[in-house]
Structure 1
Amino acid sequence: MSESPEELLPPYDGIKLADVRLVQTAQHAVAAFDALLAMDAIGFDTESKPTFQKGEESTGPHLVQLATDEVAYLFQIGRTAPVFTDGLRAVLESESVLKVGFGLSDDLRRLRSKLGIESSNVLDLAIALRANKRQTIGAKTAVARFFGQTMQKSKRITTTNWALPVLSEKQILYAADDAHVALRVYRRWRELKAG
């Protein structure tokens, strides 16, 4: 089996665990929301426990990931105080902060359905970066295109239980990377367009 061109590229390192905050207290939440609301743009994604039965409805999102240029913040939904939902609403409904991510239609629908959040000022990079009108682009392809690196996306981690009370280090890094890489790609894309 031959390797794809992306697999021949050097690996994308991604965000470091030291730069990820699993927000669990009201005090940490306030600091996180202050940092996020001070940004012009943030990376954005959600994770939901997968469904395996036909007709089974998702109860997600179970995790909301928001990233600044330096830090990714993870919010476990259902395990957090109402202040978290109010803060998430303030950030996601803010007109002054651009939220960027890949393939966001399902994320937005689930946030609306579960938390009543009507996200605004959102840019779906999967659509914005596509070369033709039909094919969307994912984070892995964008990392190859903009950084000349390959991003590992483990199917095993993608399909783990995001509703667990305690997430593994691999889950935390995977989730943080999804939001953080979106912002990095957005910044690089804007830089090249301006260049």
Structure 2
Amino acid sequence: MKKTIYNKFDKKDIKSLPRILFSGRIITIITPGETEKAVEYLMSQPILGIDTETRPSFKKGVTYQVSLLQVSTIDTCFLFRLNMIGMTPAIIRLLESRNVPKIGLSLNDDVMALNKRAKFTPGAFYDLQKHVKEIGIEDLSLQKLYANLFNEKISKAQRLTNWDSEILNDKQKLYAATDAWACIMIYKELQRLEITDDYELVIVPEVVKETIAE
């Protein structure tokens, strides 16, 4: 039986889905020296998921630099606390590498934010938003894409928390790691579906689309 996916996934249906969380190791990097070993390990992997977090601003005209860079393998996620360590030479080497594909979502925004901390030339990046359209999916958010492909929910409850906090709590760490890891999972599933054609695309009627937009 082919997997059913939708060109548009109703956000209201996400609430009832079971929640998914990253279950691997989470390693927080808080000193420049730790970045070398972390990057050495990451550069040995076949594929990486990547994302960033920035302290939210609730005042007009006030913005903050990107606080966190999370880079995940299938079972280990490193949280680079950029607000503490900055963009070290090792981190820049990882971002500029053309040997290991780094999978993310809306990567132009992430690269722009990281470039404000330190200039670098982006290496091998793969933006999921540019490729989901190849199988007919129109949604662009991580939460909707994951729900559509796996029928599981990624919670966004921690998105607007303070990512510049002296210590990140466990909920923040899990949130950050899950987002980076989920990019790998989506990529792998998209690759599988494109190769096997093992899916049926359901086009959501326009009336339902309008309801979703509301």
Deviation at 1:171, TM superposition (A): 0.8
Aligned to 1:69: 74
Aligned to 1:96: 99
Deviation at 1:136, TM superposition (A): 4.5
Q: 2:140 is matched with which residue: 133, 137, 140?
A: 137
Deviation at 1:92, TM superposition (A): 0.8
Q: Secondary structure at the match of 2:84?
A: coil
Q: Is the 8 A contact 1:127 1:136 kept in 2?
A: no
Deviation at 1:39, TM superposition (A): 2.0
Show CA shifts across 1:96-148 (max 9, x none): 11111122222110111112133222122123214799954111112112212
Distance 1:194 1:135, change over 3 A: closer
Uncovered stretches (5+) of structure 2, i.e. residues with no partner: 1-10, 197-214
Deviation at 1:53, TM superposition (A): 2.1
Aligned to 2:113: 110
Higher relative contact order (CA 8 A, sep 6+): 2
Q: Secondary structure at the match of 2:51?
A: strand
Q: TM-score scaled by structure 1? A: 0.85
Distance 1:179 1:139, change over 3 A: same
Amino acid at match of 2:65: G
Is 1:33 paired with 2:36? no
Q: Secondary structure at the match of 1:106?
A: helix
Please say which structure displays the higher CA radius of gyration. Answer: 2
Q: TM-score scaled by structure 2? A: 0.78
- Map residues 13-24 of structure 1 onto 2, 5 A cutoff: 14-16=21-23, 19-24=25-30
Distance 1:9 1:136, change over 3 A: closer
Distance 1:118 1:51, change over 3 A: farther
Aligned to 1:123: 126
Counterpart Cα distance in 2 of 1:107 and 1:20: 21
Counterpart Cα distance in 1 of 2:106 and 2:153: 19
Q: Is the 8 A contact 2:35 2:91 kept in 1?
A: no
Counterpart Cα distance in 2 of 1:23 and 1:78: 11
Q: Is the 8 A contact 1:69 1:180 kept in 2?
A: yes
Q: Secondary structure at the match of 2:126?
A: strand
Distance 1:61 1:133, change over 3 A: farther
Is 1:183 paired with 2:184? yes
Counterpart Cα distance in 2 of 1:117 and 1:180: 24
| RMSD (Å) for aligned C-alpha atoms | 2.3
Distance 1:152 1:100, change over 3 A: same
Amino acid at match of 2:22: I
Is 1:43 paired with 2:49? yes
Deviation at 1:40, TM superposition (A): 2.7
Number of positions where the alignment pairs a residue of Structure 1 with one of Structure 2: 186
Counterpart Cα distance in 1 of 2:191 and 2:137: 22
Aligned to 1:11: 19
Q: Is the 8 A contact 1:43 1:183 kept in 2?
A: yes
